[in-house]
Structure 1
Amino acid sequence: MKFLRSFPHILAIVALATTAWTSPSLGNEINSIPDDTQYLQEEPIDIYVPPPETGAPGTCAALIEPAINKIIGRYQNNWGILAETLEGGTTLYSHNPDKFFIPASNTKLFTTAAALQRLNPQGKIGSKSVQNWINVTNINSNNYYADTLLKHIGGASVAKSILAQIGVDPNSFRLADGSGLSRKNAATPRALVTTLRSMHYAPGNNVFYASLPVAGISGTLRNRMKNTTAQGTVYAKTGTLRGVRALSGYMNHPYFGQVIFSILANNPSVSGSALVSSIDQIVLQISRTKPCN
């Protein structure tokens, strides 16, 4: 889909970094992160998103497309978004769902999903349970834990094979590491949504779900979407690299039941805070959407 709407007040243009940005195509070589950032974790970002007005009627499902298109503005090609209902797989919104993006720490969703199919959550890695490793990986976005989990299940090729067995197309994502620090990682929004859907029914689903940060409450989402319709109802994994922001997870929706979504933004020309603000507005827009009848 191509749209020409703009949303200038969220486009805080910043200077390009001296390191060249590379498009996340499966066929491209993408620069990796310097070694001295190898084990950094994401810090929660305090972004204020105004809560919906009291008594606001919300957006009819038929109007969600223009509403979200207005949020992402003129950088249409830099966004990949897919939101579907869990039951029935009804698409609420779709934009570049099969395009490859750098997913940053959303890569950890692939890693932990595969780990829960191969490892017993009550088993041990060192002195800690696998469940503890899963929790720290997702809630705190710990890169060391994620890369260690990938090694314990046999590496990237094994992880892809495991995920294929639960219905995730191995051609829809690429794993260069378990954490998402490498810019050689690539994924489509559909790959992440399919992983989330598959994990709802797969072994270890309760551990997986409980490991996700909760909007306005815990982990890397504890300072985001406070006092909004998303607080306490959105369970999702964040992703942060230079020029990259991502959020994929589950939403307990008042009208559509459980909704699965993936939002990937790759844009070095817009500030990280502006990308995060736009992502949160998209989540809120989805959470306020209701049937048109």
Structure 2
Amino acid sequence: MKKADKTAPNRAYTVLKSTAVVVGISVGFWSRPAATVAQTPQSIVSESRFCRSDLASKIDRIVQQPKFRTAQWGILIKPIETSTILYQRNSNRALIPASNVKLLTTAAALQVADQKPRSLPTVKNWLIAVNRYSDNYKADALRRRIGGQPAIRSALEALGVQANSYAQVDGSGLSRSNRATPAALVSVLEAMFSDRQSELFYRSLAIAGVNGTLRSRFRNTPVQGNLYGKTGTLRGVRALSGYLDNPNYGTIAFSIVVNQPGQSGQALAQAIDQIVVQTAKVDRC
């Protein structure tokens, strides 16, 4: 399998100084799409940053709230361009990932299509529906189209994703028999960041506060327009994995998965969003 040069790409970051936020960051060998997002109050954009040493305590306070006493959390937050881990909690725990399974499906589909160039345009047309809008029917159909689970397993193995770090039974994530560790999901994100088809993969994800399943989330926060990710939603399950741009750490790959039967989805999603917002503000100091 052909791979792109994994040398860390140079990135340009623009300090947000106005209320109109326009994101168009050049990333190595390809350019991200510009995303014009809603206006963000200056007070929120300039919200105080804090040192990396404080991130763990801030996230711990979120996940250790009494209402999450029975919750199973799996979290891994890791900058792409360094070996630093900003935060991890049960990163190798296999949890129900819901639609985050679609990251496995689409990453594998791009690997298969890369070896069959004539099929790439067809796969490309399906990616946005599967990742950005979480179309379950197309995700399951895509899995079948590329050869089922054996093809996915082989493609993910070539990307460096350990076979024992996930158990996938469908393409969509609807089945509660699916399992994945945050480490597996971050491995997919890291591998696809430098893959030949990284642009297609990245552009297929939802943009925080802009479109897809993240359209209504992270509005008026430093994350708006700066996160490209995949949501996951089942009863008692919420997940969010993707790429977060941080002006001090560059692109951060992260995966947050929480399973808690009986807990409201809103409470779980709000906690995940709080974790991401804190991560957006962390500094190198």
Alignment pair present for 1:79 and 2:70: no
Distance 1:92 1:131 in 2: 33
Alignment pair present for 1:175 and 2:138: no
1:53 deviation in Å?
4.3
**What amino acid is aligned across from residue 85 of structure 1 in structure 2?**
P
1:152 deviation in Å?
1.2
Equivalent residue number for residue 210 of structure 1: 203
1:54 and 1:149, CA in 2 relative to 1: closer, same or farther beyond 3 A? Answer: closer
1:144 and 1:123, CA in 2 relative to 1: closer, same or farther beyond 3 A? Answer: farther
Distance 2:195 2:273 in 1: 28
SS at match of 1:193: helix
Equivalent residue number for residue 282 of structure 1: 275
1:218 and 1:123, CA in 2 relative to 1: closer, same or farther beyond 3 A? Answer: farther
Alignment pair present for 1:104 and 2:98: yes
Distance 2:180 2:42 in 1: 31
1:158 and 1:242, CA in 2 relative to 1: closer, same or farther beyond 3 A? Answer: same
State TM-score, norm by structure 1: 0.78
Q: 1:146 aligns with which of 120, 124, 139?
A: 139
1:51 and 1:150, CA in 2 relative to 1: closer, same or farther beyond 3 A? Answer: farther
Distance 2:45 2:167 in 1: 43
SS at match of 1:99: coil
Unaligned runs of 5+ in 2: 1-40
State TM-score, norm by structure 2: 0.80
* Cα shift readout 1:220-271 (whole Å, capped 9, x = no counterpart): 0000001110000000000000100000000111110010000001011320
Distance 1:250 1:98 in 2: 19
Alignment pair present for 1:61 and 2:55: no
Equivalent residue number for residue 33 of structure 1: none
SS at match of 1:116: helix
Distance 1:266 1:52 in 2: 34
1:207 deviation in Å?
0.4
CA contact (8 A) 1:81 1:97 kept: yes
1:132 and 1:211, CA in 2 relative to 1: closer, same or farther beyond 3 A? Answer: same
Unaligned runs of 5+ in 1: 1-49
**What amino acid is aligned across from residue 51 of structure 2 in structure 1?**
C
SS at match of 1:279: helix
1:59 deviation in Å?
2.3
**What amino acid is aligned across from residue 72 of structure 2 in structure 1?**
N
CA contact (8 A) 2:44 2:220 kept: no
CA contact (8 A) 1:174 1:187 kept: yes
Distance 1:238 1:291 in 2: 28
1:167 deviation in Å?
0.7
1:59 and 1:229, CA in 2 relative to 1: closer, same or farther beyond 3 A? Answer: same
Distance 2:119 2:259 in 1: 37
CA contact (8 A) 1:106 1:238 kept: yes
**What amino acid is aligned across from residue 84 of structure 1 in structure 2?**
K
1:57 deviation in Å?
2.0
Matches within 5 A, 1:106-255: 106-120=100-114, 123=118, 129-255=122-248
Q: Kindly report the root-mean-square deviation, in angstroms, between the aligned alpha carbons of the 2 structures.
A: 1.9
Give % identity.
46
Alignment pair present for 1:94 and 2:92: no
**What amino acid is aligned across from residue 98 of structure 2 in structure 1?**
A
Distance 2:182 2:214 in 1: 20
